[in-house]
Amino acid sequence: MTNKFNYFIGNWKMFGDLSSIRLIKKISINLNRFKKNKFKVVFCIPYTLINSYSKQLKQSNISIGAQNVHYLYEYGSYTGSINSKMIKNAGAEYVIIGHSENRINGDTDTIINKKIKSSLKNNIKIILCIGETNKQKINKQTNRILKKQIVLSLKGIRSIKNIIFAYEPVWAIGTGKVPNKYELSKNILYIKSQIQNKFKKAQNINILYGGSVNPRNIVELNSIDHLNGYLIGGASKSSKKFIDIMNKTYK
């Protein structure tokens, strides 16, 4: 896995304050040991921290992203909402769209499609999350769900140059459970085939895995050739665990 481009994307969810940047700075200092490898580190943090963190990390090797965005490109009467113009202006280079926690709260594939279009219009790179629930997995609907999410979320999108795909089985998020190697490899290949079917000229399809990624299971995950990196939740809030994940990836 060390001979390809890897993404290590931290999703802090509802965590962090202005002083928490020390965790990211510790990681930044340690990244020099991996400089012979090709990788990208991104931290998707709460809206309240984007402006401050992006300024402090401007000269570093770490990029900042948002965890969600409103679908409306223009400003509007949506109290409490933040659109792609606003996160771009604050300093975000990336944004997570379609995370299962937001799908549960009402993000349909149609809304996700609008969010993607708005963000791409503002030159923000997308981390598009897709994945099945435990019930859908048990009912053998994984492929149908993944295909539906890919087709509808990317309707009208002409290029995936600035889109990274994150396969996050809903049943694995925060549970400590991870798909076995065969299952994960099969699903990643299926996702790649569906993207290739939709975008015939797509050459670089970046697919990450997310869902209870930690230093204990990273060696097994690293053995899957089709992965291009990880969307890391809880472990991204610890500089030690995050660096351990990279250490075991590039050992």
Return the active site residues.
99, 168
Q: Are the C-beta atoms of 47 and 26 separated by less than 8 Å?
A: no
Residue listed under structure tokens 């930690």: 214
C-alpha distance from residue 195 to each of 4, 131, 206 (Å) = 19, 14, 10
Q: Are the C-beta atoms of 46 and 14 separated by less than 8 Å?
A: yes
CA dist 212 and 169 (Å) reads 10
Q: Which runs of E-coded beta strand occur in 70-195? A: 94-97, 125-130, 163-167
CA dist 37 and 96 (Å) reads 25
Q: What single-letter amino acid sits at 231?
A: L
Q: What single-letter amino acid sits at 236?
A: S
Residue listed under structure tokens 């390809």: 4
- Per-residue tokens: 159: 């290029």
